[in-house]
A = this chain, B = another copy of it.
């Protein structure tokens, strides 16, 4: 009998685990001994925060390579075929959503391994809920192009599509480029387009503000530099 691949969300920021995980999710994480993870260091910190009963050195924590090969995926899933349960964790938030874990899950399905997603925090979902923007239709686009004129062109394209489909557009940026992306959005979008900035979600510094582009232009802008931010737009 094969083991189960548990998908374990992890902290978005420094908080006690009871703030962001159900007891059932913590209990699963604390009974596993084998993990496949995006970042071994943040996973060790997370397992410590969760109070894993075993010394961390007794756990098998395997970090995903930057470029996951099919062979590596097979090797990482082999313990499951031998009957062992495995936990998959990303650096922050939900494994497989805006991060590299999905390839592992896809192969697990192909091998007939049971996949069990556990409840926990997702910055994208928290931001969408709290934005007040359209939640009946939305799309996550990952990162926009970092350079001009590609970035402006992509912003205008996403805004037009949002307006046409009544669809919330969600995207992120490398935190050190957040201020540049905000400036590009204010330069490129129509005044009536709504923009939500959701920063430092779940932490004491959390701020979530939705305003029309025209209003954002009249105000002192928040400093987003190096602060994890989700951008949401509805044209």
- Residues on the B chain within 8 Å of A131, using CB: 96, 102, 105
| Interface residue? A125 (CB, 8 A) | yes
| Interface residue? A86 (CB, 8 A) | no
- Please tell me if the beta carbons of B142 and A139 are within 8 angstroms of each other in the complex: no
- Please tell me if the beta carbons of A141 and B132 are within 8 angstroms of each other in the complex: no
Partner of A133, one of B18, B102, B129: B102
Of listed A21, A104, A140, A209, residue having the most chain B CB within 10 A: A140
* Contact digits for A35-75, partner B, Cβ 8 Å, 1 yes 0 no: 00000000000000000000000000000000000000000
- Residues on the B chain within 8 Å of A7, using CB: 129-130
Number of copies of this protein chain within its complex: 2
**How far is A121 from B21 in the complex, measured between Cα atoms in Å?**
10
| Interface residue? A228 (CB, 8 A) | no
Considering only residues 200-214 of chain A, those with a C-beta below 8 Å from chain B are 201-202, 206, 208-211
- Please tell me if the beta carbons of A134 and B102 are within 8 angstroms of each other in the complex: yes
| Interface residue? A126 (CB, 8 A) | yes
- Please tell me if the beta carbons of B141 and A96 are within 8 angstroms of each other in the complex: no
Minimum C-beta distance from A225 to chain B (A): 23
- Please tell me if the beta carbons of B135 and A138 are within 8 angstroms of each other in the complex: no
Minimum C-beta distance from A99 to chain B (A): 7
| Interface residue? A23 (CB, 8 A) | yes
| Interface residue? A136 (CB, 8 A) | yes
- Please tell me if the beta carbons of B135 and A96 are within 8 angstroms of each other in the complex: yes
- Please tell me if the beta carbons of B126 and A107 are within 8 angstroms of each other in the complex: no
Q: With A135-B102, A140-B138 given, is the CB distance from A117 to B129 under 8 Å?
A: yes
- Please tell me if the beta carbons of B136 and A139 are within 8 angstroms of each other in the complex: no
Across the interface, name the chain B residue whose C-beta is closest to A17. Answer: B22
Give chain A's interface residues, CB within 8 Å of chain B.
Answer: 7, 17-24, 94-99, 101-109, 115-117, 119-122, 124-142, 167, 196, 201-202, 206, 208-211
Other A-B contacts than A19-B119, A97-B129, A119-B202, 13 sampled, CB-CB below 8 A, are A7-B130, A18-B22, A20-B119, A22-B22, A94-B129, A96-B131, A99-B135, A102-B132, A105-B131, A119-B119, A119-B120, A122-B122, A139-B140
Query: 18 A–B contact pairs at CB < 8 A?
Result: A18-B22, A18-B24, A19-B23, A20-B22, A23-B23, A95-B129, A96-B135, A98-B136, A99-B135, A102-B132, A102-B135, A109-B211, A115-B130, A116-B130, A117-B208, A125-B125, A139-B139, A139-B140
